[in-house]
Structure 1
Amino acid sequence: MPMLPPSLDDRRFDDLVEELVARIPAHTPEWTNPRLGDPGRTLIELFAWLGDALLYRANLIPERQRLVFLKLLGMGLQPARPARGIVGLAFAQETELGAHTLAPRAKLKAALPFETLAETTVLPVTGECYIKRRIAPADAAKRSDMLQGLARIHRISGALKAYETTPVFPQGRATPAGVDVFAQSADRALWVALLAPKAAQAPQQPTVNEAARLALGGGNAALPPLLSVGLVPAVKPPTVFEDVTTPVAVPVLWEITTQGRSGFETDYLTLPVQAGTDSSGGLARAGTLRLQLPDESLIWAPPNDVGVNPHAGVGDVPPRLDDPERVARVIAWLRLRPLPGQAVEHLPLAWLGVNAVEIEQRATLEGRVLGSSSGAADQAFALPFGSVDAASLQVEVEAPGRGYEPWTRVDDLAAVSADANVARDATAYELDAEAGTLRLGDGVRGKVPEPGMRVRLALGRFGGGRAGNLAPDSLSELNGIRIDGQPAPAIKVLQPLPLAGGEDAETLALAERRIPARLRHRDRAVTEEDYRRLAFEAPAIDVGRVEVLARFKPRDRRFEVPGVVSVLALPAAPLAPAPNPRPDRPFIERLHGFLAARTPLATELYVIGCDYVAVGVSVAIAIRDGFARDQVLLDATAALRRLLWPLAPGGLDAQGWPLGRALRTRELEVEVSRVPGVDELRGLRLFQQREGDWQALPEIAADGAQVLVLQRWQLPELLSIVAIEGASAPTNLRAVPNPFAEPSAVAVPVVPELC
């Protein structure tokens, strides 16, 4: 039976009234009619109400003991985690032609608090990405005459690489599927056109271009500004049992165009990445970096008009643009290409933009007095909000004659130091990040501030939760302060991708569920249950199912390999039509990194997705009178989808279809027969997909029973299901007739009278 905390007294108001009324004859026998409304009965009810309130408070003691037990274990509730993402910035007014460097923690206009994470420079340019997309051999053959003519015009004696200038991430929008900018281009490079704002009148465009170029180069400033570039690699789901490791840096080179020896010759300057500003890990993950720009005298773009420059777009120069309005605004080109000598053939990107910055769902507070010391031991002070970022927290305490002094956060004041003298004078505090409370020492383990001394929050960042996982284009405006303290001009925000990673604060019920695991494995993965429980505790991912395959080596599809543990994990997802949930690379990387730090040294750990086996089902039923035909067929389809779903509420026990369990038509027939409105099941067939086609499974019994045998690491994936009202199940999933079509009629479109 379950272990539930007992109530110290389970009596309630009605019970107390009944008990008191029953005692009347024993104590006051002359009171023979304790009816409702009697003054004595009213006093009894008042006493019962007071007693009920006291019993309610007494019954909270077990709850308090559980909370105290959690604190003794050092298991505070986990704070909320913030959503994060990358946005692009641009001036709201195109007449703004200066460079403005914004201080960190600029605020975005939204219902929830969002801040920028780092310093960023907003330049009066926009970036448009292009590749020289190679022409397919079939197209090249059709255009052979034209290509030969181009070769003669440009005096090209060798091989000709024909390309088409193709924009990627048009209008700054992301391409979630990704574009392999190296593999799909003829020169294995990504080109970014830096465009000045559009002038009010065409004759003024050269003046605007010169002002934008001056801002890029820094003008009279000692150092040119930095160009902030944001990028998001395209992440594709890993193949079955693919080894997913930590992403490695991509060796690339950033360059900007400059004028060569002649007026039309293009040369390139290498742009170094400012040290400490690359949060992308060398293009390995989503992040930003800042490029050091040259002096404005070296920033140049080759003429793109073939009437001025006949060799525009030919050879190792930027791609040719055919839009005169854009050509007139180009002031320079960035080129991203593999580092010379490195065999980098692929770079799939979902988005790349300039003037980019990372943002996070948190708000920063500074200079808040939390209270004054009473001189007592174990003082507690409440922060303005809960879910504080412990890494950013700065707490200061007044000292007599010395003003505010910083204090240090420790995990446990009892273990601050083995030296009693050091421990007594340690200026340290404990933090409950979820609740937002500080606890100071008791004079033996941690210093006690003098009476009257104030405790101040010097700096702290608060916030988080799933509400911050916003869809693209949810943010539009930013209010920032420049590094010189002056307000920045109006800035608009481009949010190309959704924000992710937000998670609500842990509840008490979830924390209590962690107690047995904490006592059992103490944050170490030893048993299968340890791996399973730890996987569900991994931060920044939403795990829906975990299966531990001991001694299973995924690449070899082989069990009984000593020292190997494979953790099969699926992300949480609601019950929905195909496809089934699959983990992507960030999911597997984060889970592997979390488990690897808790795995014994001699263990070879793999985190894998599931090997799904494509399955199709056809079913024929008879419907009872009084039930809607279409509804019954939809319910039968939904019942089969639920049964074969890999997560809850799927499967025979509502926990997902068991891993490796064979699929039998008899079990599917039972599920369909339970659907309300099904009078009789007249046939059910199983199909397996082979080479893109559905093939019926062989019958293993005279009554037509079928079985799909699965390996111990496989699950079924229901990709096609057909439910009909008829005498037998369809034998071909592709040949099911449309029940609403008339076989003797021909569909003919009719032109409406009014278009």
Structure 2
Amino acid sequence: MTLPAPKLDDLTWADMMAAIRRRIPAESDGTWTLHAPVDPGVTLLELFAYLLEQRLYWLDQVPDALVVAILRLLGLEPPRPARPAATVLHVTARRTGTAVPVLPAGTALTRDPAGRIVFTLDDDLAVFPLAEGTPVTVWTDRDRTADLPARRGVPLLAGHGGPASARFTLPLTGAHPAPGPIGLLFELDAPAASAPSWLPGAVADVPPPAELTWSWFRPGTDVHGPFAKVEDGTGGLRRSGVVRLHPPADWTTRDTGILLSTPAATHAAPPRLLGLAVNAAAAHHRQWHTASGEHLQEQTDAWLKLPGQHLLLPEAAERLLEARVSLADEEWRPVPDFTFGGPADRIFVLDRTEGAVVFGDGLTGRIPRPGREASVTYATGGGRAGNGGMTANWVPAGDLPAAVTAASLVRAEGGADPETVTEARRRAAASLGEVTRAVTADDFVTLARTTPGVAVARAYASLGEHPGHPCTPVPGAVTVHLVPAVPRDDTTGEGFVAAPLPDPGMLCAVAAHLERARLLTTEVFVRAPRYRDVAVRADLSGDPADRARVSAVLTEALRRHLDPLVGGEEGDGWPFGQPLHPSVLLRAAQRALGDLAVVTAVAIGLDGAEPGEDCREVPLGPVDLPVLRAVRTRIVPAVEPGEGLA
């Protein structure tokens, strides 16, 4: 139940005048006899009542500065500035010599003929020569090159916990050394919770799901070696991302092979590769500028030792994102507001509407001295205007040669306009309903499922369960069992995992998240669920015309019904610890078969046991989940109506 907002300006001018007139006889000892509006005294009282009514109205108007300060006290973000859109660009450049060109970080490119929407590269990019028409080759258990253009997911590192590897051959030409890293876009079929590395929602510090090793080799030879440095934006193939491979000094573009290997493929499911591109770099809708010299010197010379000094930045009005300020070689830091600043703090606030840097008043924030030499590095851009589709018309926006072109490999998205104070208040109100502390079992489940950076589909909190004391409930102990989100579009396809287990990185990330939210006296453990192998025998009446089809339909229906992610009556996964009822499985099987066959009985076997004739339910432990391993059908004679009756 939410409390109603208090209303402080409920006293009107008419109510005040009525109360004042009633008090006039007593306060004047009866000497004031004319209380009509024509009396000058009454006119003055009406004026004072009018002014008081305005003051009462102000009581209900919370100033923006107070809203921002309260948000900071609550540990929430102040009104968010404009957010730049992000994309990944495939860059090509016509070489004028033998050297491989390198585009530095901050290189500006635009898809807008007028040059209003400018994106800049996040990192340095070496633009290697590519053989036109030659695709990237992919080899896992066999040649998978043809699958990428068709967007058929290629499962990588499908080792089920054992050693695994994948090989790629890049379409590089010549024998050029590497002046910079190789930029590769790995586009994976990852859950939405694992946002791509270039988007604002990406989480940088999630432990990888497996230990990966990147190395290079020269196809057709035994020449190979490790990369000098690897910047893995995929987080160990957990999400889509840009991988930057730094070759060693003896590498050349003849060494086109890349070997990706792991001693233990511990991913919850084999990562599915949808696309791989060379000469790729992330780019954001922002442009960096540096203001210094005469323009700023004129402004600082005009300063007085008074509060409210500011610096107007060129071409920054309505577009200012962030800034770094230096006055007389002293660094000043940005803050959301001056509320918590001291008189000696070198702080400033960004006025994004005016495109200016604003300094303090001497009480909250230091007043800068006049005449100081100023230098401001600032970024402009952001907003929804940067969002857009995949285009191939990117051209240089600065001093780059016209031979440099680019094409977007993914949609530009993530751009947002500046948040108003009203929107920030709504966001703060909505956050009050978010679970931030782990008190109840539902709290543990909610926090586990919303752990940033990992895709947890289901969680179950077992109160009192302690791994060190499996036979006795331990007060204060909580063990959370996780089921990761893995593909369920095709239960018979390649890479399907019937019993998904959380990877080690997911377990660590969820454990760290719950550790910060637990009560002081609570011990929290994070584990995988316990899967129980299930065998089912179904008795079919009569003689089905197509026994192979009946068996396939029956197996698929029972597998989905018992699935830990899409099973159960609600389709959100078989409930933890729910017993197996033969009648429930019979109903699911008959619903799927329809007129193909009549199911007369279902028998269930658990953990390798043969299905028996007992029709009673099969119990499971509190943290157990079933996984279907075998389905056998048996044809029994059809029972005629009335047969067996005396």
Length-normalised TM-score, structure 1: 0.47
Residue 190 of structure 1, CA deviation: 1.1
**3-state secondary structure, aligned to 2:223:** strand
Q: Tell me which of 126, 135, 156 is aligned to 1:121.
A: 126
> Once the two structures are superposed, what CA deviation does each residue of 1:557-594 show, in whole Å capped at 9, x if it has no partner?
9883566434578999xxx9x99xx9987987765554
CA distance in 2, matches of 1:253, 1:101: 22
Which residue does the alignment assign to 1:6? 6
Q: Structure 1 residues 114 and 385, CA, compared in 2 at 3 Å: closer, same or farther?
A: same
Please list the CA deviations of residues 297-345 of structure 1 after superposition, one character each: whole Å capped at 9, or x if unmatched: x765xxxxxxxxxxxxxxxxxxxxxxxxxxxxxxx64141659xx6789
Paired position in structure 2 for 1:678: none
For 2:333, what is the secondary structure of its paired residue?
strand
Provide the C-alpha distance between the structure 2 equivalents of 1:217 and 1:92, rounded to a whole number of angstroms. Answer: 15
Structure 1 CA distance, aligned partners of 2:105 and 2:439? 43
Contact 2:109 2:397 in 1 (8 A): no
Aligned to 2:218: 256
Give 1:443's aligned residue. 362
CA displacement, residues 264-323 of structure 1 (integer Å, 9 cap, x when unaligned): x834243633x4745456767643123437679x765xxxxxxxxxxxxxxxxxxxxxxx
Residue 394 (structure 1) shift: 3.4
Judge conservation of contact 1:86–1:287 (CA < 8 Å) in 2: no
Alignment match, 1:394: 323
> Any gaps of 5 or more consecutive residues in structure 1?
20-26, 30-49, 135-164, 196-211, 239-243, 258-264, 301-331, 417-422, 615-640, 665-684, 701-706, 718-731, 733-755
Instruction: Give runs of aligned pairs for residues 505-654 of structure 1, distance below 5 A.
Output: 507-514=424-431, 548-552=461-465, 560-561=473-474, 564-567=477-480, 592-598=511-517, 603-606=523-526
Structure 2 match to 1:89: 90
Provide Cα deviations, 1:382-441, integer angstroms capped at 9, x if missing partner: 9856995xxxx43215x5xx4x7531246897877xxxxxx6443234679999997744
Aligned-partner SS, 1:229: strand
Corresponding residue for 2:545? Answer: none
1:563–1:123: structure 2 CA closer, same or farther, 3 Å change rule? farther
Counterpart Cα distance in 2 of 1:375 and 1:686? 92
User: Once superposed, what is the RMSD of the aligned Cα atoms?
Assistant: 7.0
Q: Aligned with 1:217: secondary structure?
A: coil
1:217 matched to 2:176: yes
State the SS of the aligned residue for 1:166: coil
- Match for residue 247 of structure 2 among 292, 297, 304: 292
Q: 1:407 aligns with which of 332, 338, 347?
A: 332
Structure 1 residue 511: deviation in Å? Answer: 1.1
Inter-partner Cα distance in structure 1 for 2:307 and 2:77: 21
Is structure 2 residue 350 aligned with structure 1 residue 350? no
- Match of 1:253, as an amino acid? S
| Counterpart residue type for residue 217 of structure 1 | H
Rounded Cα–Cα distance in structure 2 between residues aligned with 1:118 and 1:177 = 28
- Post-superposition shift, 1:97? 9.1
Indicate conservation of the 8 Å contact 1:5/1:62, yes or no: no
Instruction: Go from structure 1 to structure 2 and tell me whether the alpha carbon gap of 1:479 and 1:444 turns closer, same or farther (over 3 Å shift).
Output: same
Matched letter for residue 406 of structure 2: I
Distance 1:132 1:712, change over 3 A: closer
CA contact (8 A) 1:566 1:608 kept: no
Q: Distance in 1 between matches of 2:409 and 2:78?
A: 35
Deviation of 1:494 (Å):
3.3
User: What's the TM-score, normalizing by structure 2?
Assistant: 0.53
The Cα offsets for residues 55-89 of structure 1, whole Å up to 9 and x where unpaired, read as 98764449997665334445334748979987462
CA distance in 2: counterparts of 1:11 and 1:663, whole angstroms: 67
Letter in 1 for 2:77: G
Within 5 Å, which residues of 2 pair with 1:147-158?
none
Deviation at 1:100, TM superposition (A): 2.9
Report the counterpart of residue 229 of structure 1 in structure 2. Answer: 184
Paired residue for 2:169? 192
Distance 1:561 1:378, change over 3 A: farther
Residue deviations 1:533-578 (CA, integer Å, cap 9, x gap): 7668755679998765444469999883566434578999xxx9x9
Report the 3-state secondary structure (helix = DSSP H, G, I; strand = E; otherwise coil) of the residue aligned with 1:509. Answer: helix
2:345 corresponds to which residue? 426
1:87/1:451 Cα in 2 relative to 1: closer, same or farther (>3 Å)? closer
Q: Indicate conservation of the 8 Å contact 1:217/1:294, yes or no.
A: no
SS at match of 1:249: coil
User: Match of 1:270?
Assistant: 225
Q: For residues 510 and 569 of structure 1, what CA distance do their matches in structure 2 show?
A: 29
The corresponding residue for 1:476 is 392
For 1:515 and 1:379, locate their aligned partners in 2 and report how far apart those are by CA, in whole Å.
37
Quick check: 1:610–1:713 contact (8 Å CA) kept in 2?
A: yes
Do the aligned residues in 2 keep the contact of 1:181 with 1:189 (CA within 8 Å)?
no
Question: Cα–Cα, structure 1 residues 603 and 410, in superposed 2: closer, same or farther, change >3 Å?
Answer: farther
Residue 75 of structure 1 aligns to a residue whose secondary structure is coil
Number of residues of Structure 1 aligned to a counterpart in Structure 2: 504
Q: Tell me the CA shift for residue 101 of structure 1.
A: 1.8
Structure 1 pair 267–410 and aligned structure 2 pair: CA distance change class (3 A):
same
Letter in 2 for 1:256: R
What are the Cα deviations for residues 326-367 of structure 1, in whole angstroms up to 9, with x where unaligned? xxxxxx64141659xx67899856156353434255423434
The CA distance in 2 between the partners of 1:396 and 1:108, in whole Å, is 27
> 1:689, 1:434 → 2: CA distance?
69
Q: Distance in 1 between matches of 2:148 and 2:447?
A: 43
Alpha-carbon spacing, 1:98–1:429, altered in 2? closer, same or farther (3 Å): same
Q: Could you list the per-position Cα deviations for residues 250-277 of structure 1 after superposition, in whole angstroms to 9, with x for gaps in the alignment?
A: 13421235xxxxxxx834243633x474
Deviation per CA, 1:612-649: give whole Å up to 9, x if none: 999xxxxxxxxxxxxxxxxxxxxxxxxxx9xxx99xxx
- What is the aligned counterpart of 1:109 among 108, 111, 118? 111
How far the C-alpha of 1:3 sits from its partner, in A, is 0.4
Q: What's 1:34 paired with?
A: none
Could you say which residue in structure 2 is the equivalent of 1:139? Answer: none
Quote the offset at 1:245 in angstroms.
6.0
Aligned residue for 2:171, secondary structure, equals: strand
Separation in structure 1 between the aligned mates of residue 331 and residue 261 of structure 2, nearest angstrom: 47
> Deviations 1:129-161 (Å, cap 9, x if unpaired)?
445676xxxxxxxxxxxxxxxxxxxxxxxxxxx
Letter in 2 for 1:350: L
Contact in 1 for aligned 2:515/2:524 (Cα 8 Å) = no
Matches of 2:211 and 2:266 in 1, distance apart? 14
Secondary structure at the aligned position of 1:476 is classed as coil
The residue that corresponds to 1:247 in the other structure is 209
Structure 1 residues 593 and 501 mapped into 2: Cα distance closer, same or farther (>3 Å)?
farther
- The Cα offsets for residues 462-517 of structure 1, whole Å up to 9 and x where unpaired, read as 6478996x8xx7343433479x854552223334xx78888996742231344588
Question: What is the match of residue 408 of structure 2?
Answer: 493
State the SS of the aligned residue for 1:128: coil
User: Which residue identity lines up with residue 125 of structure 1 in the other structure?
Assistant: L
Deviation, 1:689, is 9.6
Q: Quick check: 1:548–1:566 contact (8 Å CA) kept in 2? A: yes
Q: 2:405 is matched by which residue type in structure 1? A: A
Which consecutive unaligned segments of at least 5 residues does structure 2 have? 19-34, 38-50, 194-205, 535-560, 582-599, 628-632, 634-646
Indicate how the Cα distance of structure 1 residues 11 and 659 shifts in structure 2: closer, same or farther if over 3 A, else same. farther
Give the direction of change, closer, same or farther, for the CA distance of 1:57–1:502 in structure 2 (3 Å limit).
same
Change (3 A) 1:62 1:103: closer
Matched residue of 1:194: which SS? coil
Task: Report the CA distance between 1:662 and its aligned residue.
Answer: 9.1
User: For 1:227 and 1:690, how far apart are their aligned partners in 2?
Assistant: 54
Change over 3 Å in CA distance of 1:71–1:190 after alignment to 2: closer
Q: Structure 2: how far apart are the matches of 1:179 and 1:515? A: 42
The letter for the 2-side match of 1:512 is A
